[in-house]
Structure 1
Amino acid sequence: MNLNIYKRLLPMLILALMLGSCKKYLGIEPKGVQLLKTVKDFDLWLNDREITGNLPEPINLLADNIDLANVELPLDAVNERVFTWQPQFAEDQFAGEAVIWKDFYREIYYYNTLINNIDEATDGTETQKKSLKAEALLGRAFCYLYLVNFYGKVFNPGSASSDLAVPFVTSHDLNDPTPPRRSVKEIYEHIINDITAAIPDLPASNIKNRFRGSIAAGYGVLARTYQFMGDYVKAAENAQKALTAGSSTIMDFTKMTNSSQIGDLTVRPDVFYARVSVAYNQEKIPTIAFLKTFDVNDLRLKFYYNNLGNYTYPTRGLVKYRSSGLQGGTATISWGPTVAEMELILAESAARGNDLPLALDHLDVLRKKRFPASAYQKYSSNNRDQVLQKIMQERSFEFPYNGMRWIDMRRMDAEGKMQEVSRLDKNNNVIATLSPGSQRYTLQIPVQVTLFNPGWPQNP
């Protein structure tokens, strides 16, 4: 059976929906030849919500800081299966969706469409074409950085060349054959090569629309890439380049009375590369254990979490997190790189290199903007492990539900620093556990995909 590339990657109904959507937007010829004609067409293509705001929300359900308060057996809903780390999130290979996987490959399809066709655009300058291609290369790299961290093992220099990850797809032709799964090392090399190739041609600034690419955005994604690889020297180098090329401004919560003053994500100065999930306004339920790790004076707690009461949190599911802030609409946290993330990368890199005073200074740059001056005290420790633990905790406060906590958990687990995580049903009975070193830290390839690619080795 000779099936095309995207039918193998985005099976059945998913493919049909994707193609239907494209037809409504610009149209796709039966063999996958795009009807994009002008530079303006391609420029508008990069503003489409399918690219800027379609990251999969279920990613957050894997993390240890989120709760579903009304789960009961048997697990019927996809979200409940993700929440309890089931090997497959939809067991029915004919009716279910390839959750998480499909969203990233659909987005990659859009980027590949631009990369492979922009040179043939009928108007615009070569500089404009190169700039748009650079933005698409950055976007594709951003998608693969998630994919390799969900379907491949944590980067290990000793095994990365043999650990399998995902196919690296560069075609937009619906009839091309599907490439095989590539190694973790190969996918990271592709990510780095795409970003490195993009940076010289990226716009100098995206101040008018943070959802578009820029030089600072490129360095920001590259810094995150090296951090996830464990190359903390290069992570710090690129984090600093992002701060130099872009903004170094962290939104100062101490000068605000509530989240409505944070500003719109599209133009916010602390954001290098704005990205959001398909359901970013959806309320989340934080675990009580996570809530109790906050200092009660932390303004992030007061800006994003409701029903705080007296901070004892006796009732599971009562407190809700709103990603757009309690006042709604403006304070959305970006899934893409920000100034705060770069400061925390610099802090972690310094701590990994045993420069604890520098690590604490970078940590302080962020934290002093998150507490009223009257209640703030700079964190101090001369213990490397304690400082690293504090930095990871600060990452969980600053980016609680933007897709990164699960990747941080994987990184900590690879270092033997993750404790067992349990899931409770609505009656507080343990129904699932994620043990240290669990194989569930690497997701299985969805059965809806392996159906069309039976020769692929499956993750345990």
Structure 2
Amino acid sequence: MNKWLIILLSVLLFSCDKYLDVKPKGKRLLETTADYDAWLNNSNTMAYAIPNELNQLDDRLDLPNIKTPQTFVSDWIYVWRRQFADETTPPPVIWKDFYESIYYCNTVIQGIDEASGGTPEQKKSLKAEALLGRAFSYLYLVNLYGKSYNAATAAEDLSVPFVTSNDLNAPTPSRHTVQELYDHIIADINEAIPDLPQDNSKNRFRGNVAAGYSVLARTYLYMGDYVNASKNAQLALDHGDNQVLDYSTMSYAGEIRDLVTRRGTIYGRLLKTTYTQLTPELSYLKTFNTKDLRLAFYFLYTNDYSFNVRGQVYHQGIGVAYSNAYPNCGTSVEEMRLILAECAARGNDLPKAIEELHLLRKARFKPADYQKFESADQEEVLKKVLAERTFEFVFNGMRWFDMRRLDADGRMPVVNRYDGQGNIIASLPPKSQKYVLQIPLQVMYFNPSWPQNPWSE
């Protein structure tokens, strides 16, 4: 029973029609370097990697029609229920998706050196992409199932197992600490960067040097290491396209290109289901400038922008033109600009912070509607940067991680969930244990000796 449950589930559910099945059925094993390249190029393997359930944790989400008591898994996540399952038979949500991606990456890391064909440089490049992909998935896991990084406690705070094998019969590692996970993430990326390709402009889902630095920048931001976050964000921009996607030149959302070749994308990743229609919370909508093109391109039924009726406005995950405007869950030029802005604001380099904000914000308004933000107050500038993240990264699975780090920073207010009559049905207070998800019931069933994350109702 000490098998890696989630990997077993992932393989059983895997539906790729070319790989990882037995030869008698007419399928093909990964044998050549070209096979491994196609494996990483398969959109089902790497692109659609981010579980939609992460958006259920978002404080900007509203479910005005939610039932009491809640019966759907998505509703349980929305109200931060202790466990997101009552039995061990269904696959564990969120957990399974990231370990599935890790399994794909470990398959490349473990097997590419023995593949036939290809040059040593090609093999090194593919292994580097897999190392980056594995690190990217572990960055999510450590920030879901471990405490926010604190240098004083990270060596004791438990996180998730760091699995490097793709052998389904290998013993399950025990839970690693938060410090160990971050050390592995950083080591994997630093090992990968020298061998990553320089250009991924033909397929933004593939890794490159800029992607490596961009994931490092996000990693250090989540650690609160603003010096290294800024350094790596700049390196990401220096090694690739450093121009944000410019909405100001577009007439409507349908002009936003597919993420595969979209400008501004550094390391592309999509939600598992890209066609989404989510209801934003009204007070959040009221924080938008009504001339902001992100509001025009992604939100349906905004009417007169008064935002007074719950459930009336929807965020359209593929853009209001029903196009290819789905949000990037991976890294982007826009994210790097905002990391630079936040790090500068925290370091009281206000001109730098304001300029980075300007480079992003001027591309989110028509020229006649744009006004550059100016302030000489450090706290005001930092709040503006943090607010800008809420406008730029809407329902792309990232908000929970900002909520966690802002809570650790003493900047998160209580978050309440309401039923259709306006009654509070769940609360997430500051410093709540709920900011660390519990290890899924299904996983604990196979690993009963693991300590479970504490939980307070």
Q: What displacement does 1:212 show?
A: 0.5
Tell me whether 1:133 sits opposite 2:165 in the alignment.
no
Aligned length: 449
Amino acid at match of 1:221: V
Cα distance in 1 for residues equivalent to 2:380 and 2:447: 45
Cα distance in 1 for residues equivalent to 2:341 and 2:432: 28
Cα distance in 2 for residues equivalent to 1:395 and 1:284: 18
> What is aligned with 1:398?
392
Q: What displacement does 1:126 show?
A: 0.6
Cα distance in 2 for residues equivalent to 1:178 and 1:29: 24
Deviates more, 1:55-64 or 1:34-43: 34-43
Cα distance in 1 for residues equivalent to 2:256 and 2:446: 46
SS at match of 2:274: coil
For 1:59-458, list aligned pairs within 5 A.
Answer: 59-92=54-87, 94-458=88-452
Spell out, residue by residue over 1:317-351, the C-alpha distance to the aligned partner (whole angstroms, 9 max, x if none): 11111122111222122111111100000000101
SS at match of 1:316: coil
Spell out, residue by residue over 1:17-49, the C-alpha distance to the aligned partner (whole angstroms, 9 max, x if none): 62352674313469xxx9210111101111221
Tell me whether 1:58 sits opposite 2:25 in the alignment.
no
Cα distance in 2 for residues equivalent to 1:449 and 1:219: 32
Contact 2:149 2:224 in 1 (8 A): yes
Q: What displacement does 1:264 show?
A: 1.4
For 1:30-69, list aligned pairs within 5 A.
Answer: 35-48=29-42, 49-69=44-64
Cα distance in 1 for residues equivalent to 2:169 and 2:91: 21
Amino acid at match of 2:72: A
Q: What displacement does 1:371 show?
A: 1.3
Contact 1:145 1:191 in 2 (8 A): yes
Contact 1:19 1:28 in 2 (8 A): no
Spell out, residue by residue over 1:403-452, the C-alpha distance to the aligned partner (whole angstroms, 9 max, x if none): 11110011110011110111011222110011011100010000110011
SS at match of 1:185: helix
SS at match of 1:321: strand
List runs of 5+ in structure 1 lacking aligned partners: none
SS at match of 1:432: strand
Cα distance in 1 for residues equivalent to 2:380 and 2:93: 36
Q: What displacement does 1:246 show?
A: 0.4
Cα distance in 2 for residues equivalent to 1:59 and 1:80: 12
Contact 2:217 2:232 in 1 (8 A): yes
Spell out, residue by residue over 1:194-226, the C-alpha distance to the aligned partner (whole angstroms, 9 max, x if none): 000001111110010001011111111111001
Cα distance in 2 for residues equivalent to 1:22 and 1:192: 31
> What is aligned with 2:3?
4
Contact 1:203 1:214 in 2 (8 A): yes
Q: What displacement does 1:97 show?
A: 2.9
Cα distance in 1 for residues equivalent to 2:371 and 2:14: 52
Cα distance in 1 for residues equivalent to 2:342 and 2:13: 45
Runs of 4+ in structure 1 over 3 Å off:
22-25
Cα distance in 2 for residues equivalent to 1:101 and 1:261: 35
Q: What displacement does 1:50 show?
A: 3.0
Spell out, residue by residue over 1:106-127, the C-alpha distance to the aligned partner (whole angstroms, 9 max, x if none): 1101110110000011111111
SS at match of 2:159: strand
SS at match of 1:437: coil
Cα distance in 1 for residues equivalent to 2:21 and 2:160: 26
CA RMSD of aligned residues (A): 1.4
Using the size of structure 2 for normalisation, the TM-score is: 0.96
Contact 2:10 2:96 in 1 (8 A): no
Contact 2:148 2:408 in 1 (8 A): yes
Q: What displacement does 1:373 show?
A: 1.8
Cα distance in 1 for residues equivalent to 2:270 and 2:76: 23
Cα distance in 2 for residues equivalent to 1:395 and 1:311: 21
Contact 2:3 2:446 in 1 (8 A): no
Cα distance in 1 for residues equivalent to 2:236 and 2:287: 30
Contact 1:22 1:28 in 2 (8 A): no
Cα distance in 1 for residues equivalent to 2:10 and 2:232: 38
Amino acid at match of 1:18: V
Contact 2:52 2:273 in 1 (8 A): yes
Deviates more, 1:314-323 or 1:271-280: 314-323
Spell out, residue by residue over 1:240-271, the C-alpha distance to the aligned partner (whole angstroms, 9 max, x if none): 11111001111111111111112111001210
Amino acid at match of 2:215: V
